[in-house]
Amino acid sequence: MITSRANFNYQGQVLIEKMKIKAPFRYEAIFQNSGCFIYFKQRGPKLFSSEENAQLKSNEAVLLKCGNHFIDLLRETNDDEVEVIAIHLYPEVLKKLYTGDLPALVKKQNNGSGSQVVVSSDVIAKFIDSLEFYFQNPSLVNNDLLELKIKELILLLIQSKNINSILELVAGLYTAKTIHVREVIGLHLFSNLKLEQLAKLCNLSLSSFKREFKKEFEDSPTNYINEKRLEKAKELLSTTDLPISEVAYETGFQDSLYFTRLFKKKIGVPPTAYRTQN
């Protein structure tokens, strides 16, 4: 749940925003025509995208390219709230700020890889702290200041040895990337994502996703994914002492009771009995 939200707009678009999120929470971050720099205070979430399945750390940032992303923040305490700073990097804004320079940078790059985790440094942390001053004094903020903050961020990232991440991000804003269903499924087979969310990561409607999945795997998404997850569950039950609830979680099932019912239906015995037998 988002408990508070504040933002600064630039030419009718949200450019910089601050959110406080109470766990547990799954945030759907959709950036169809922009990149985004997101910084997590206190602790980091789990990031899912068409190219990423990563656990972020506290005070760590990530550069997200165009596309659909899911950010999972799990609860660790009863009063678990995390502050998030997001800075949107729109192609039209970057073009304006780097007139004549940006196309040259893009031409030098191949189609970049996925979103890039940016390990936090004291310099980046200080930059984030500087934004807090403006959130406390929003009357001081205007377009000129926002342009300066975007330039400052990019310069700091380059100087903090993230130049490849920046160039790949910029290149990705101008280069359409083909998303393959097989690659997304391989990356998130054991992630706790619903079919609708997997379809969004593939940039497809649910019906189109099911058709493409059938062509690729010659099976329905539900049947294929459940079979693969149950195979992994059998392995974990045979080789580890993980509790049944942990086995369910590790194989992509959020509900351990559903996992137990499905396991018994497909395998013939409950998970505890399978572990005893094996």
Asked if residue 1 has pLDDT above 50, the reply is yes
Kindly state whether residues 16 and 35 are assigned to the same domain.
yes
How far is residue 163 from each of residues 15, 96, 102, 160, 219, measured CA to CA in Å?
Answer: 21, 20, 14, 8, 42
Asked if residue 252 has pLDDT above 90, the reply is yes
Share of the chain above pLDDT 70, in %: 81
The reported pLDDT for the residue numbered 106 is 46
Q: Is 62 exposed, middle or buried (0-12, 13-18, 19+ CB in 10 A)?
A: buried
Stretch 194-214: mean pLDDT, rounded? 92
Count the domains in the chain: 2
**Domain boundary, last residue among 174, 189, 205:** 174
Kindly state whether residues 257 and 273 are assigned to the same domain.
yes
Angle at 213 between CA 209 and CA 219, to 5 degrees: 135
Kindly state whether residues 65 and 161 are assigned to the same domain.
yes
Stretch 193-218: mean pLDDT, rounded? 93
Residue 89's φ and ψ, nearest 5 degrees, are -110, 95
Task: Please spell the DSSP secondary structure of 159-201, one letter per residue.
Answer: IIIIHHHHHHHHHHHHS--PPPHHHHHHHHTTS---HHHHHHH
Q: Which of 118, 59, 84 is nearest to 4 (CA)?
A: 84
Asked if residue 258 has pLDDT above 60, the reply is yes
Q: Which of 51, 37, 265 is nearest to 155 (CA)?
A: 37
Task: Identify the weakest region by mean pLDDT among 82-91, 162-171, 175-184.
Answer: 162-171
Q: Which domain holds residue 197?
A: 181-277
The reported pLDDT for the residue numbered 177 is 63
Kindly state whether residues 62 and 160 are assigned to the same domain.
yes
What is the rounded average pLDDT for all residues in the chain? 83
Take residue 273 and report the two structure tokens written for it.
């009995």
Q: Which of 6, 44, 7 is nearest to 27 (CA)?
A: 44
When pLDDT is cut at 50, 70 and 90, the band that residue 173 belongs to is low
Kindly state whether residues 128 and 263 are assigned to the same domain.
no
CATH code, domain carrying 201: 1.10.10.60
Stretch 135-140: mean pLDDT, rounded? 94
Kindly state whether residues 83 and 25 are assigned to the same domain.
yes
Kindly state whether residues 11 and 56 are assigned to the same domain.
yes
CATH code, domain carrying 50: 2.60.120.810
Kindly state whether residues 99 and 190 are assigned to the same domain.
no
**Domain boundary, last residue among 142, 174, 206:** 174
The reported pLDDT for the residue numbered 110 is 46
**Domain boundary, last residue among 174, 193, 218:** 174
Asked if residue 229 has pLDDT above 90, the reply is yes
Kindly state whether residues 138 and 257 are assigned to the same domain.
no
Who contacts 148 (Cβ-Cβ below 8 Å, separation ≥6)? none
Q: Are 38 and 85 in contact (CB under 8 A)?
A: yes
Take residue 6 and report the two structure tokens written for it.
């504040």
Q: Is 150 exposed, middle or buried (0-12, 13-18, 19+ CB in 10 A)?
A: buried
When pLDDT is cut at 50, 70 and 90, the band that residue 137 belongs to is very high
Asked if residue 142 has pLDDT above 60, the reply is yes
Q: Specify the higher pLDDT residue, 85 or 66.
A: 85
pLDDT digits (tens, 9 = 90+) for 86-132: 998 888 888 788 765 554 544 454 444 555 666 567 788 889 999 99
Half-sphere exposure of residue 235: CA atoms within 13 angstroms, side-chain side: 8
How far is residue 66 from each of residues 17, 114, 151, measured CA to CA in Å?
Answer: 18, 10, 20
pLDDT digits (tens, 9 = 90+) for 8-21: 999 889 999 999 88
Share of the chain above pLDDT 90, in %: 45
Q: Of all helices (H) and strands (E), which one includes residue 38?
A: strand 35-40
Stretch 74-78: mean pLDDT, rounded? 66
Task: Identify the weakest region by mean pLDDT among 50-54, 56-60, 67-71, 163-167.
Answer: 163-167
Kindly state whether residues 50 and 167 are assigned to the same domain.
yes
The reported pLDDT for the residue numbered 101 is 57
The reported pLDDT for the residue numbered 271 is 95
Q: Of all helices (H) and strands (E), which one includes residue 22?
A: strand 13-22
